[in-house]
Structure 1
Amino acid sequence: MTQTLWIILAGAVVTYLTRIGGHLALSRLERVPPRLEAALDAVPAAVLTTLVAPALTTAGPLEFCAIIVAALVALRAGLMTMFFAGAAVLVAGRWLMG
């Protein structure tokens, strides 16, 4: 096997173990402590930030516009609506620009 395939397989195994480990750890608790619940609620925003921040530093005008639209939508709507709004702006802008 190639090195790339080994890296992909290792990443899949680590991801699976992380997900199962978290589930097993939380299933042993009768009640999730408020601090842990707050930390878990912050995970989606943290992951999204780690994906968007590097792209923002190299973004062109169209990508920057999509990020602004997504941020504005996020003030009023949920995560999926924000994602689709930003993606729609990006796709429409790329289609219009040729």
Structure 2
Amino acid sequence: MSLDTTTLLAIVAMALVTYVTRIAGLFVADRLVLTGRAKAAFDAIPPAVLVAVIAPTALTTGWVEAIAAAITAVAAFRLPLLGTVAVGVISVVLLRNVL
């Protein structure tokens, strides 16, 4: 296996750009003063990313996972994070054994 110089430079450049954008986010976030709607929007980013990662898997793997995801979503409105995770895991296990 040989490594082309162009490929190596492309990989290094992509790694550098990725690193710079992540570090820049940390420096910029410290200087931002957010209030009102902007703060609410930034506070909504982590759950939105989590749903974007989990929802396709939960909704394409089968009915058991889709039902468990719905149960977990309802529990998330009432329980803290650890309780919600426990409800999600237990509901998947029980539904897989029942259905």
Q: Normalising to structure 2: TM-score of the pair?
A: 0.61
Q: Which residue of 1 aligns with 2:88?
A: 86
CA gap of 1:21–1:84, structure 2 versus 1, over 3 A, is farther
The one-letter code of the counterpart of 1:36 is: A
The one-letter code of the counterpart of 1:54 is: P
For the 8 Å contact 2:72–2:87, the answer to whether it is kept is: yes
TM superposition shift of 1:64: 1.8
For the 8 Å contact 2:59–2:66, the answer to whether it is kept is: no
Identity over aligned residues, as a percent? 36
Q: Deviations over 1:4-55 (max 9, x none)?
A: xx98xx57x72x54442222002224x3333331111111221122123322
Q: Which has the larger radius of gyration?
A: 2
TM superposition shift of 1:81: 3.0
The one-letter code of the counterpart of 2:48 is: A
Q: Which residue of 2 aligns with 1:58?
A: 60
Q: Which residue of 2 aligns with 1:48?
A: 50
Q: Normalising to structure 1: TM-score of the pair?
A: 0.61
The one-letter code of the counterpart of 1:28 is: R
For the 8 Å contact 1:70–1:83, the answer to whether it is kept is: yes
Q: How many residues align?
A: 89
CA distance in 2, matches of 1:85, 1:17: 39
Q: Which residue of 2 aligns with 1:24?
A: 27
CA gap of 1:19–1:91, structure 2 versus 1, over 3 A, is farther
Q: Which residue of 1 aligns with 2:69?
A: 67
Unaligned runs of 5+ in 1: none
